[in-house]
């Protein structure tokens, strides 16, 4: 007798009725098959997780309904997949919202489902899919893409989709326990491909999952992802901790696994307990994990091909080996301050890691890397709003930045000096270590905590009343509160700790992490602009330390998203004097070099560039050269091309192909299009709240739209639209995100890949005056445009 278990959500009664009727028909009509649903497992009207998991463990095949994208069901699907159960998934495609949620999640697209709207179709699908007599083993197909060896880590972390203080607290605790980890940053990409999660789950013994409060935007997709991955983690017998910010109504399956918190202290307590036990057990857990990850069947050549990671943070240790240096990175630190600008996904963080590693090869370079996880925006905004004048605001911003940079340099030099043998320490080095140890709270906490502490100190001292309009008194008092005396002492230490002819280089990234669409952009823009001003002050202060008769060669480089830089520059008094370096990838040859260099480097020289195309790709897709097809259908950015190639490879492997076939490339475009749609919404972050609604207005429409149609869709999406100027402003925004290209000549649509060309493209379009716009090919597949 083949036994099955059927999981479905209770939020759509009609689906439950159809499934129960289908179960009865199947049990009565199919020999040696008996299916039970979750309703049979209720004890005194309630469910306990052990009953559910036991039922899945003991069944021969597993069935589930995706309608409504229920978190319980996703958890059970994940668990059943990891237990290698044959699976039959169904989805009532008449529920439009449910279908949208499935597409947004995207993690089960390679598994697929049987569409239904009634009982007979569920029964029909069961006979066709035959989970009781399976041909396909979904788990084998999914794990076929796993690499032959893993970069071992202690922990996989799924953080909240919103950059909160809880994310910061978790990151700080992981750093404290010095646990090597990989963090799924949902603020970068809401959902990674399923192959990425499976690779990480096979390389770690433990998983920490933070579900989102149901009060926060975007919680549905994030929590659905967390449910599926938590189920897989539990099925793989990993050490699992699930936490959630209140309010969060706990799905029944999670009840015994999940801990809810309502403040930072509670979050810290739960995470600390988990990490402390992980720290104690890590050696045993890693050994057990190595035993469980057994050698799989013989791997094909294609399975051994590697293109690296699409997100730089996930490959920071290896990126130096295959970074394509098209921007002559040493030039990025030539001035006293430098700005590197690029779109999201254009390689800013990869350039930062490469630059840091490249500069560090020379022992004369002291490279200080500042990557704040996030900082408390609301506190900064309220502090600025309480200030009495523009002078006070400007002085506060520059003084805060000066404090943060000096303390970050001190922290770097402290840990560098601590690595020296005790007998090798000079007297001044001992003095420096003793001094920093005496004020650890000021110098050795993380960047974001230091910022929050200083804002708290200034607010507690009633910023409004400081100086009472007297600029000199205000400066003295603020300087005192922000440890100006200690900073002066640090300057003297720096001059003795950094030898002659050595450089001090500060690299700053992640300043976009705390930009939210509800933040006061003018204040945040001035805060970042203040960094440019203070870098000049620091340069002057360090260029000659009078008390020590010493010069320090200081350089600062900031990495900024282009849309944020556009906002920041609008507040500058002399924007034309701000020099920037831009990351551009419009040349297809340079873009393909990223893939080709990775392919060769990660194969340990086993393959040449030519072999990528000759051995692993069919020469043409839809009648055009494969390279031309790819470049025509993606955004020209490193992250996009890496993601697309990885998806092509994973699709081909899951189908048992030894090379990437034409159909694999075409179907991978659908997956990529869904990913880029979500990526655009993330990049949109600081503006129009209704952008998602507007994007769905484009669905199933024409790929070429007029200005009038855009105006109409704006209104339908609830976007403020009181006239032509509002429409123009919104169109500018859409074009800057590369959602639309402008018609600049008959049938020629030009996309704004480089903000420098924005004005030129707009003028050409105005002169042609067709007022027509074309949706980028990268989005066409997901939006199903005609």
Distance CA 284, CA 295 (A): 20
For strands 740-745 and 772-775, give the pairing. Answer: antiparallel
Separation of alpha carbons 734 and 728, rounded Å:
10
Element containing residue 420 per DSSP (H, E): none
User: What tokens appear for 334 in the block?
Assistant: 């030539």
- Which residues on neighbouring strands pair with residue 209, listed in sequence order? 158, 242
Burial class (CB in 10 A: 0-12, 13-18, 19+), 770: middle
Asked whether residue 641 carries a pLDDT value surpassing 90, the answer given is yes
Per-residue pLDDT, 328? 66
- The phi-psi region of residue 501 (left if phi > 0; otherwise alpha if psi is between -120 and 50; otherwise beta) is left
Confidence label for 467 from pLDDT (cuts 50, 70 and 90): low
Where does residue 619 rank: exposed (0-12), middle (13-18), buried (19+ CB within 10 A)?
A: exposed
396 φ, ψ (degrees, to nearest 5):
-60, -50
What is the Cα–Cα distance from 119 to 21, expressed in whole angstroms? 7
Cβ burial, residue 259 (10 Å; 0-12/13-18/19+): middle
Which tokens hold the place of 757?
A: 């060309």
Q: How far is Cα 415 from Cα 130, in angstroms, rounded to an integer?
A: 61
Tens digits of residue pLDDT in 9-38: 888 888 999 999 999 999 988 888 899 888
Whose structure tokens read 């801990």? 259
Alpha carbons 7 and 41: distance in angstroms, whole number: 11
73: Cβ–Cβ under 8 A, 6 or more apart, which residues? 7, 8, 9, 64, 65, 66
Could you tell me if 187 and 162 are in contact, meaning their C-beta atoms sit under 8 angstroms apart? yes
| Residue 444, pLDDT score | 87
Question: Residue 622 region, left (φ>0) first, then alpha (ψ -120 to 50), else beta?
Answer: left
**DSSP secondary structure string for all residues of 156-204:** EEE--SS--HHHHHHHHHHHHTT--EEEE-TTT-S---HHHHHHHHTT-
Q: d(Cα 78, Cα 495) in Å, to the nearest integer? A: 57
pLDDT digits (tens, 9 = 90+) for 716-773: 988 888 888 899 999 998 998 999 999 999 999 999 988 778 899 999 999 999 999 9
Rounded to the nearest 10 degrees, the angle between the axes of helix 588-602 and helix 638-654 is 50
- For the packed helices 427-438 and 390-418, what is the interaxial angle rounded to 10 degrees? 120
pLDDT above 60 for 696 = yes
Could you tell me the pLDDT band of residue 142, with boundaries at 50, 70 and 90?
confident
Best-predicted range by mean pLDDT (194-198, 297-301, 387-391, 527-531): 194-198
CA distance 631 to 591: 9
Q: 69, 12 in Cβ contact below 8 A?
A: no
CA distances from 479 to 207, 407, 410, 535, 698 (A): 44, 14, 18, 17, 53
Other Cβ atoms within 10 Å of 786 Cβ, number: 8
Q: Does residue 406 contact residue 490 with C-beta atoms inside 8 Å?
A: yes
Distance (Å) of CA 91 to CA 103, 135, 181, 764, 782: 12, 21, 36, 48, 19
DSSP 394-417: HHHHHHHHHHHHHHHHHHHHHHHH
CB atoms under 10 Å from CB of 10, counted, come to 14
Q: Is the pLDDT score of 545 beyond 90?
A: no
CA-based angle 687:688:689, to the nearest 5? 110
Q: Residue 87 pairs with which residues in a beta bridge?
A: 62
pLDDT of residue 572 exceeding 90, the answer is no
3-state DSSP assignment of residue 737: coil
3-state secondary structure of 292: helix
pLDDT of residue 562: 82
Looking at the DSSP bridge assignments, the partners of residue 224 are none
The whole-angstrom separation of Cα 236 and Cα 232 is 6
pLDDT class for 687, splitting at 50, 70, 90?
Answer: low
Q: What is the DSSP letter of 684?
A: G
CB atoms within 10 A of CB 215: 10
Per-residue model confidence (pLDDT) at position 367 = 94
User: What integer pLDDT is reported at residue 110 of this predicted model?
Assistant: 74
Query: How does pLDDT run across 509-544, given as a tens digit for each residue?
Result: 887 766 665 556 777 788 888 887 788 888 888 877
**CA-angle at 547, arms to 541 and 550, nearest 5°:** 65
Burial of 196 (C-beta count, 10 Å sphere; 0-12/13-18/19+): buried
Q: What's the mean pLDDT when you consider all of the chain? A: 85
| Closest C-alpha to 754, from 624, 602, 583 | 583
**Stronger pLDDT, 534 or 6, i.e. the higher one:** 6
Kind of pairing between the strands at 704-706 and 772-775:
antiparallel
Please say whether the beta carbons of 225 and 191 come within 8 A.
Answer: yes
566 has pLDDT over 90? no
Q: Would the pLDDT of 3 be above 70?
A: yes
Let me know: does 248 contact 260? Beta carbons within 8 Å: yes
pLDDT tens per residue across span 398-444: 888 888 899 999 999 999 999 989 888 999 999 999 999 998 888 88
Q: What is the pLDDT of residue 516?
A: 60
Q: Which helix (H) or strand (E) holds 77?
A: helix 71-82
pLDDT tens for 118-135 read: 999 999 998 888 776 665
| Cα separation, 426 vs 432, whole angstroms | 10
Distance between CA atoms of residues 771 and 724, nearest Å: 12
Run of H or E including 209: strand 206-211
For the chain, the first-to-last Cα distance in angstroms comes to 49
**How would residue 636 be classed by pLDDT, with cut points 50, 70 and 90?**
very high
Share of the chain above pLDDT 70, in %: 91
- At 299-316, the pLDDT tens digits run 678 888 989 888 888 887
For the cut 80, the answer to whether the pLDDT of residue 140 exceeds it is no
The HSE-up count of residue 66 (CA atoms within 13 Å, CB side) is 31
Percent of the residues in the chain that have a pLDDT greater than 90, as a whole number? 36
- Specify whether the CB–CB gap between 339 and 541 falls below 8 A: no
415 CB-near residues (< 8 Å, 6+ apart)? none
Q: What pLDDT band is residue 377 in, cutting at 50, 70 and 90?
A: low
Residue 604 Rama label (left phi>0; alpha psi -120 to 50; beta): left
CA distances from 83 to 61, 207, 231, 376, 737 (A): 10, 17, 10, 42, 42
CA angle 655, 661, 666 (to 5 degrees): 90
Residue 391: cis peptide before it, omega within 30 degrees of 0: no
Whether residue 326 is predicted with pLDDT greater than 90 in this model: the reply is no
Confidence (pLDDT) at 446: 81
Q: How many CB atoms lie within 10 A of CB 178?
A: 9
Q: Could you tell me whether strands 155-158 and 206-211 are parallel, antiparallel, or unpaired per DSSP bridges?
A: parallel
Arithmetic mean of pLDDT, 438-453: 84
pLDDT tens-digit readout, 57-100: 999 999 999 998 999 899 999 999 999 998 999 999 888 888 88
**626, 613 contact by CB (below 8 A):** yes
Of 379, 394, 316, 324, nearest in space to 353 by CA: 316
Distance CA 767, CA 569 (A): 27
Count of other CB atoms within 10 angstroms of residue 628: 13
């Amino acid at each position: 007798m083949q036994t099955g278990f059927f999981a479905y959500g209770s939020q759509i009664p009609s689906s439950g009725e159809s499934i129960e009727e289908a179960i009865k028909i199947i049990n009565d009509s199919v020999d040696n098959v008996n299916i039970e649903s979750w309703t049979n497992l209720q004890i005194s009207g309630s469910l306990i997780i052990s009953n559910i998991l036991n039922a899945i463990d003991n069944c021969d095949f597993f069935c589930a309904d995706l309608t409504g994208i229920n978190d319980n069901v996703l958890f059970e699907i994940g668990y059943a997949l990891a237990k290698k159960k044959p699976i039959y998934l169904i989805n009532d495609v008449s529920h439009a919202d449910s279908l949208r949620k499935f597409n947004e999640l995207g993690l089960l697209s390679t598994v697929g489902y049987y569409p239904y709207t009634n009982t007979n179709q569920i029964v029909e699908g069961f006979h066709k899919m035959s989970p009781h007599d399976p041909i396909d083993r979904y788990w084998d197909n999914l794990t076929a893409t796993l690499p032959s060896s893993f970069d071992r880590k202690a922990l996989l972390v799924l953080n909240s989709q919103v950059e909160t203080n809880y994310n910061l607290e978790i990151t700080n605790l992981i750093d404290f326990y010095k646990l090597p980890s990989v963090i799924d940053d949902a603020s970068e990409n809401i959902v990674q491909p399923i192959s990425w999660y499976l690779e990480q789950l096979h390389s770690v013994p433990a998983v920490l999952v933070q579900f989102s409060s149901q009060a926060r935007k975007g919680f549905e997709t994030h929590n659905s992802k967390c449910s599926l991955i938590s189920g897989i983690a539990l099925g793989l017998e990993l050490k699992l901790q699930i936490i959630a910010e209140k309010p969060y109504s706990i799905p029944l399956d999670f009840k015994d696994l999940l801990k809810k918190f309502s403040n930072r202290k509670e979050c810290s307590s739960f995470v600390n307990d988990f990490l402390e036990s992980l720290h104690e057990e890590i050696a045993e857990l890693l050994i057990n994990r190595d035993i469980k990850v057994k050698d799989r069947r013989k791997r094909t050549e294609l399975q051994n091909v590697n293109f690296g990671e699409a997100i730089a943070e996930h490959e920071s240790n290896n990126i130096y080996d295959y970074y394509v240096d098209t921007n002559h990175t040493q030039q990025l630190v030539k001035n006293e301050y430098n700005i590197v600008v690029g779109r999201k996904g254009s390689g800013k963080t990869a350039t930062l890691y490469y630059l840091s590693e490249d500069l560090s090869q020379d022992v004369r370079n002291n490279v200080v890397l500042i990557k704040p996880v996030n900082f408390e925006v609301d506190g900064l905004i309220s502090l600025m709003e309480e200030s009495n004048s523009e002078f006070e605001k400007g002085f506060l911003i520059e003084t805060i930045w000066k404090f943060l940079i000096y303390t970050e340099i001190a922290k770097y030099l402290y840990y560098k000096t601590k690595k020296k043998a005790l007998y090798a320490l000079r007297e001044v080095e001992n003095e420096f270590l003793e001094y920093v140890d005496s004020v650890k709270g000021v110098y050795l906490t993380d960047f974001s905590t230091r910022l929050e502490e200083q804002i708290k100190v200034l607010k507690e001292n009633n910023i409004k009343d400081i100086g009472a309009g007297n600029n000199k008194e205000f400066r003295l008092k603020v300087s005192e509160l922000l440890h100006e005396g200690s900073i002066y002492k640090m300057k003297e230490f720096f001059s003795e700790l950094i030898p002659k002819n050595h450089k001090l280089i500060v690299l700053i990234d992640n300043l976009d992490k705390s930009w939210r669409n509800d933040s006061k952009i003018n204040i945040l823009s001035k805060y970042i602009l203040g960094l440019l001003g203070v870098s000049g002050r620091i340069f002057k202060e360090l260029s000659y330390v009078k008390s020590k008769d010493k010069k320090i060669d200081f350089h600062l480089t900031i990495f900024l998203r282009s849309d944020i830089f556009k906002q920041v520059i609008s507040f500058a008094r002399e924007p034309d004097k701000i020099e920037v370096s831009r990351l551009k990838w419009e040349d297809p040859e340079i873009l393909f070099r990223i893939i080709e260099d990775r392919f060769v480097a990660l194969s340990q020289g086993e393959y040449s560039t030519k072999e990528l195309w000759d051995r692993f790709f069919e020469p043409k897709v839809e009648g055009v050269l494969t390279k031309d097809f790819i470049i025509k259908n993606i955004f020209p950015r490193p992250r996009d091309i890496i993601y697309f190639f990885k998806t092509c490879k994973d699709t081909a492997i899951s189908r048992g192909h030894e090379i990437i076939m034409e159909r694999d490339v075409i179907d991978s475009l659908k997956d990529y299009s869904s990913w880029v749609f979500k990526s655009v919404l993330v990049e949109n972050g600081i503006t129009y709240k209704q952008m998602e609604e507007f994007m769905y207005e484009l669905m199933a429409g024409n790929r070429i739209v007029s200005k009038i149609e855009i105006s109409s869709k704006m209104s339908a999406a609830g976007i403020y639209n009181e006239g032509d100027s509002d429409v123009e402003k919104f169109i500018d925004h859409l074009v800057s995100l590369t959602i639309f290209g402008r018609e600049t000549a008959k049938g020629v649509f030009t996309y704004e890949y480089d903000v420098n060309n924005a004005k030129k493209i707009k003028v050409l379009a105005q002169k042609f005056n067709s007022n027509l716009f074309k949706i980028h090919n990268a989005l066409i597949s997901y939006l199903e445009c005609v």
